[in-house]
Amino acid sequence: MRTMRSDIPVKEVMTVEVCTVREKESVHTLARKMIEYGVGSAVVVENGRPVGIVTEKDLISKVVARNKLPSKVKVADVMTSPIITITPNTSLREAANIMIKKGIRRLPVINEKGDLVGIITDNDILGVSLDLGELAALITENAIGYSTYVESEEIYAGICDRCGKYADTLIEINGLKLCEDCAEAER
């Protein structure tokens, strides 16, 4: 993460439409909300304040693996609490450090009143650090006048790292295994 500027506050990257659930709701309701939002976790809130979090891992280990009926299990029985939170002005670097030290992948963001205002995930941080790395490469490429494009051997059959589609032929470019269409776009 050496390319990530430490002064970027999480409020510039966080998701503000957070999937939330209440403690008394069923895990079945929770799972439906997570699918609706397309996310792997939900923040448990009471009176607008986060009191816990439930992840896919919680659902697998505490419901599925124990063969419990999701409609009969309450969110309160599977949530992780207390919850670790950060503020909107917390830097991305600090958020990443908290995630690494605590072994977590999501941090709810709260305002000065303690109300939930967003969430930031490890993927959000990774996306920003990759964007900054790509920007640095473009600046370097333009300043020095050379291209970082590298093509190596073909690999037969697999999933394209860029578009996620299956291809009979993958071409390795800059460490990515790409289908012919994505490889062409890279060139």
Helix (H, G, I), strand (E, B) or coil at 156: strand
What would the pLDDT profile of 71-82 be if each residue is shown by its tens digit? 999 999 999 999
Confidence of residue 183 (pLDDT cuts 50, 70, 90): confident
From the number of C-beta atoms within 10 Å of its C-beta (0-12, 13-18, 19+), residue 25 rates as middle
Coil, helix or strand for 93? helix
Please name each of the domains of the chain with its CATH number. Answer: 10-127 (3.10.580.10), 149-187 (no CATH)
pLDDT band at 137 (very low <50, low <70, confident <90, very high): low
- pLDDT band, very low/low/confident/very high, at 135 (cuts 50, 70, 90): very low
Give how far Cα 71 sits from Cα of 41, 56, 76, Å.
Answer: 18, 16, 13
**Crossing angle of helices 122-144 and 92-102, rounded to 10°:** 130
State yes or no: pLDDT of 159 exceeds 50. yes
Please report which confidence band the pLDDT of residue 130 belongs to, taking 50, 70 and 90 as the band edges.
low
CA neighbor of 71 nearest in space, from 114, 27, 40 = 27
CB-based contacts of 165: which residues, under 8 Å, 6+ apart? Answer: 159, 179
DSSP annotation of 14 reads -
Higher pLDDT, 156 or 135: 156
Q: At residue 38, what is the residue type?
A: G
